[in-house]
């Protein structure tokens, strides 16, 4: 039986699992709070991805590949194929970026499949119920808005870098002032503020949409797991609870992979657009 029945009901149970292990760095609001659990788990998963792929890259053989090498090659060929279909320039830097985004987001999303009460059970077994009640650990970094936001802001600056590399500083600035309403003469001066405003909105929408799409889907999936665990928490409903969690988990695998793919492919699409003129 999980802690929802012994800690004050479903609301307290959900609030407990939605609380981060964090430190307040600046002020008192959420913007000045640093979520240690999201940062640490994302860092560890990123290092696992790098170590895993580097291991098989160093041990790659031209003959019959091992199962691990075959899987890595399959993933890399899949990602490179998607990049090739979307981006028609030099892929030497775009494909590694797309691969990193896809695998890292998949790893972070997959943490949602770990049993919700496992961290509390471990703490309760080793340190007692009171310690478990005051210990917080959210396992899914992408269900924390700060993680998708950090990824999206990074992509945003990468897009600016690609646009500057393709068009130069003058060309990029000119495009901000002249597109999408291309005009000549005095009318171009009148429309310059309108063009600049529309381009700023277009550029800002990209990272916001990337972050909110990933966060919304993963946060919603996490809440469903919490509701199932909280509502079906007694011994009488143990078997239905397991079945419901398993059914949602199988469906959630599709969401995990799909959201990682969407984040990756939109990043490549945005890079392709950044290198092209209006």
Q: What is the token pair recorded at 52?
A: 């895993």
Q: What is the token pair recorded at 64?
A: 């019959």
Gap between the Cα atoms of 259 and 101, Å rounded: 11
Gap between the Cα atoms of 62 and 42, Å rounded: 33
Q: What is the token pair recorded at 151?
A: 């990824």
Q: What is the token pair recorded at 272?
A: 């392709």
Q: What is the token pair recorded at 135?
A: 């210990």
φ/ψ of 179, rounded to 5, equals: -105, 150
- Which residue numbers are catalytic? 209, 213, 217
């Amino acid at each position: 039986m999980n802690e929802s029945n012994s800690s004050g009901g479903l609301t307290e149970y959900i609030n407990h699992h939605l609380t981060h292990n964090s430190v307040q760095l600046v002020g008192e609001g959420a913007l000045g709070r640093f979520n240690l659990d999201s940062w640490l788990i994302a860092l560890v998963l990123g290092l696992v991805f790098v170590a895993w792929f580097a291991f098989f890259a160093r041990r790659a053989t031209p003959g019959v590949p091992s199962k691990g090498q075959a899987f890595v090659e399959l993933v890399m060929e899949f990602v490179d194929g998607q990049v090739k279909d979307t981006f028609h320039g030099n892929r030497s830097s775009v494909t590694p970026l797309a691969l990193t985004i896809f695998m890292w987001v998949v790893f972070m999303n997959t943490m949602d499949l770990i049993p919700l009460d496992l961290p509390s059970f471990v703490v309760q077994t080793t340190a007692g119920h009171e310690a478990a009640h005051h210990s917080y650990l959210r396992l899914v970094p992408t269900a924390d808005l700060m993680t998708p936001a950090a990824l999206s802001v990074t992509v945003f600056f990468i897009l600016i870098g690609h646009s500057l590399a393709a068009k130069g500083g003058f060309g990029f600035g000119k495009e901000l002032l002249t597109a999408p309403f291309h005009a000549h003469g005095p009318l171009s001066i009148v429309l310059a503020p309108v063009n600049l405003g529309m381009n700023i909105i277009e550029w800002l929408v990209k990272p916001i949409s990337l972050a909110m799409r990933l966060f919304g889907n993963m946060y919603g999936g996490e809440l469903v797991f919490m509701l199932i665990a909280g509502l079906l928490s007694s011994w009488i409903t143990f078997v239905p609870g397991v079945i419901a969690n398993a059914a949602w988990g199988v469906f959630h695998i599709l969401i995990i992979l799909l959201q990682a793919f969407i984040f990756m492919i939109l990043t490549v699409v945005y890079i392709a657009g950044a290198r092209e003129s209006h």
